Amino acid sequence: MNPINVGLLGIGTVGGGTFAVLERNADEIARRAGRPIRINVVADKNLELAKKVTGGRCRLTDDAFAVVGDPDVDIVVELIGGCGVARELMLKAIENGKHVVTANKALLANHGNEIFAAAQRQGVTVAFEAAVAGGIPIIKALREGLTANRIEWIAGIINGTTNFILSEMRGKGLPFDAVLAEAQRLGYAEADPTFDIEGIDAAHKLTIMSAIAFGNSMKFSEAYIEGISRLDSSDIKYAERFGYRIKLLGITRRMPEGVELRVHPTLIPDKRLIANVEGAMNAVLVKGDAVGATLYYGKGAGAEPTASAVIADLVDVARMLTADPEHRVPHLAFQPDAIVDLPILPIAEVVTSYYLRMRVADQPGVLADITRILADHQISIDAMIQHEPDEGEEQTDIIMLTHQTREKNVDDAIVRIEKLPVITGSVVRIRLERLL
End-to-end Cα spacing for the chain: 50
The number of beta carbons lying within 10 Å of the beta carbon of residue 60 is: 18
Query: What are the start-end ranges of the E strands in 322-418?
Result: 351-361, 381-386, 395-402, 405-406
Longest dimension (CA), the chain: 83
Give me the sign of the Cα torsion angle 18, 20, 25, 29: positive
The alpha carbon dihedral of 155, 151, 138, 119 has a sign of: negative
Q: What is the spatial distance between Cα 314 and Cα 328, in angstroms, rounded to a whole number?
A: 14
The DSSP bridge partners found for residue 136 are none
- Does residue 205 have an active-site annotation? yes
CB 217: neighbour CB atoms within 10 A? 14
Interatomic CA distance for residues 205 and 435, integer angstroms: 19
Query: Of 105, 205, 287, 299, which is the active-site residue?
Result: 205
Cα angle value 370/372/373 (rounded, 5°): 70
d(CA 344, CA 255): 10
C-alpha 91 chain-centroid distance: 24
Active site residue ranges: 205
